């Protein structure tokens, strides 16, 4: 009887999650396929419904996100990186330092628990940072809220920046197709699933922190960019991964956490705009060092999602190749250096690198 009740609860959660994803997508929210299940999970948890996402499902979601990051490293991106790699690297380091500074200020003067501010202020890779934060003891609920709040603000500000610099509004990123992608080629799909499962196995055996994400990301990037395998992520696979991640986060909310989130929104918004301003300083340096146009420099250094920034760049007629190359380099750098930066910020602030005030 208990098993039947749990099945009914999961069916209802899936239906409500699908409805929330459709509504959020219609409203223009980025990452609606992740936010919908997360909001639905929050609703169920606050109603007293007890459901648990298996750890294996959460690990699989991390591995899929890792492969998604790996797909950004293409031969054309590598060619663009080779032209101005030193300046790009300097700008990426400045962006990571800006995120670290914002996280440090939040930890010193904000009210976020433990090392949560260090992960939540990381400039990019929202899904990756949310997935990795769990492995390092941060409050994954607050990290997710901070990351996706920043992504939403960055997407909205792109329209205003484009109007100022070009005299017209930038194209707001269109949501991906709802086609499930069941027609994905079988051989590349099998190779992708092998990378995911192999990465999960190796990360478990080697006990690498956040290895479920990092191992598939690094292996997939090498194999895909060299042509040894072809990674493909059909929408159904992304939906399953996003839903698992969203439920894992949302089902852990309680009333105390929701009240704390609402109380912390002003400081989160202040931190977001401070990070955007610091990234604008990096953009100005690009205009000075490379003579890049202002909009291309802004989009290249913008701390938003890679997919959102790419679509805005293509819709505004700027230097798309440069924007994608710098955004890709920053995404990889942020994911790889995230644990080190979080530990460093915690050490400076005198907070345990693995302490977070996470509540079960």
pLDDT, tens digit (0-9, with 9 covering 90-100), for 69-116 = 888 777 777 777 777 888 989 999 999 999 999 998 988 888 776 678
pLDDT given at position 314: 62
Domain boundaries, the chain: 2-172+181-349
**Mean pLDDT of all residues belonging to the chain:** 82
Class of domain 2-172+181-349 (CATH, top level):
mainly alpha
pLDDT tens sequence across 219-242: 998 999 888 999 999 989 989 998
DSSP string, 306-349: HHHHHHHHHHHTS-HHHHHHHHHHHHHHHHHHHHHHHHHHHHHH
Better-scored residue on pLDDT, 181 or 186: 186
Q: Is 52 helix (H, G, I), strand (E, B) or coil?
A: coil
- Furthest-apart CA pair in the chain: how many Å? 68
Token pair listed for 157? 């500000």
Q: Is the pLDDT of residue 175 over 60?
A: no
Better-scored residue on pLDDT, 330 or 136: 330
Better-scored residue on pLDDT, 98 or 156: 98
Within 13 Å and on the Cβ side, how many CA atoms surround 184? Answer: 20
Better-scored residue on pLDDT, 11 or 325: 11
Lowest mean pLDDT among 31-35, 207-211, 350-354: 350-354
Percent of the chain with pLDDT over 70: 86
**N residues, the chain:** 360
Better-scored residue on pLDDT, 161 or 153: 153
Q: What is the pTM of this model?
A: 0.75
**Burial call 106-135: b when 16+ CB within 10 Å, e when fewer:** bbeebebbbbbbbbbbbbbbbbbbbbbbbb
pLDDT tens sequence across 279-318: 989 999 999 888 888 888 888 898 876 666 765 676 666 7
With a CB cutoff of 8 Å and minimum separation 6, the contacts of 60 are: 196, 200, 212, 241, 244
pLDDT given at position 179: 66
Better-scored residue on pLDDT, 353 or 257: 257
- Alpha-carbon distance 6 to 13, whole Å? 10
Helix, strand, coil in percent for the chain, rounding step 5: 75, 0, 25
Of 136, 131, 123, 91, nearest to 342 (Cα)?
136
pLDDT given at position 358: 41
User: Of the ranges 94-103, 129-138, 181-190, which is most confident?
Assistant: 94-103
pLDDT given at position 168: 47
């Amino acid at each position: 009887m208990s098993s039947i009740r749990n099945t009914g609860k999961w069916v209802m959660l899936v239906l409500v999650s699908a409805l929330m994803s459709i509504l959020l997508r219609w409203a223009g929210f980025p990452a609606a396929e992740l936010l919908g299940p997360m909001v639905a999970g929050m609703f169920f948890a606050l109603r007293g419904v007890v459901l648990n996402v298996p750890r294996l499902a959460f690990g699989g979601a991390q591995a899929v996100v890792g492969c998604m990051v790996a797909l950004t490293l293409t031969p054309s991106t590598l060619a663009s990186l080779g032209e101005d790699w030193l300046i790009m690297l300097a700008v990426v380091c400045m962006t990571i330092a800006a995120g670290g500074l914002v996280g440090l200020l939040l930890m010193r003067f904000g009210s976020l628990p433990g090392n949560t501010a260090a992960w939540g202020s990381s400039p990019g890779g929202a899904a990756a940072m949310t997935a990795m934060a769990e492995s390092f003891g941060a409050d994954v609920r607050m990290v997710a809220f901070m990351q996706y709040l920043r992504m939403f603000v960055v997407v909205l500000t792109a329209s205003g920046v484009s109007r100022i610099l070009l005299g017209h509004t930038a194209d707001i990123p269109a949501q991906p197709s709802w086609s499930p992608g069941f027609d994905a080629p079988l051989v590349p799909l099998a190779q992708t699933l092998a990378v995911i499962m192999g990465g999960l196995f190796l990360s478990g055996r080697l006990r690498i922190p956040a290895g479920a994400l990092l191992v598939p990301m690094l292996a997939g990037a090498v194999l895909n960019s060299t042509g040894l395998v072809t990674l493909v992520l059909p929408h159904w696979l992304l939906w399953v991964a996003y839903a698992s991640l969203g439920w894992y986060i949302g089902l852990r909310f309680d009333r105390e956490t929701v009240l704390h989130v609402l109380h912390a929104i002003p400081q989160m918004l202040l931190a977001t705009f401070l990070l955007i301003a610091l990234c604008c300083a990096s953009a100005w340096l690009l205009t000075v060092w490379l003579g890049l146009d202002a909009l291309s420099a802004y989009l290249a250094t913008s701390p938003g999602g890679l997919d959102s920034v790419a679509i805005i760049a293509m819709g505004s007629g700027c230097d798309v190749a440069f924007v994608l190359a710098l955004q890709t380099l920053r995404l990889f750098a942020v994911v790889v250096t995230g644990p080190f930066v979080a530990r460093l910020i915690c050490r400076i602030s005198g907070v345990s690198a693995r302490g977070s005030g996470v509540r079960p």
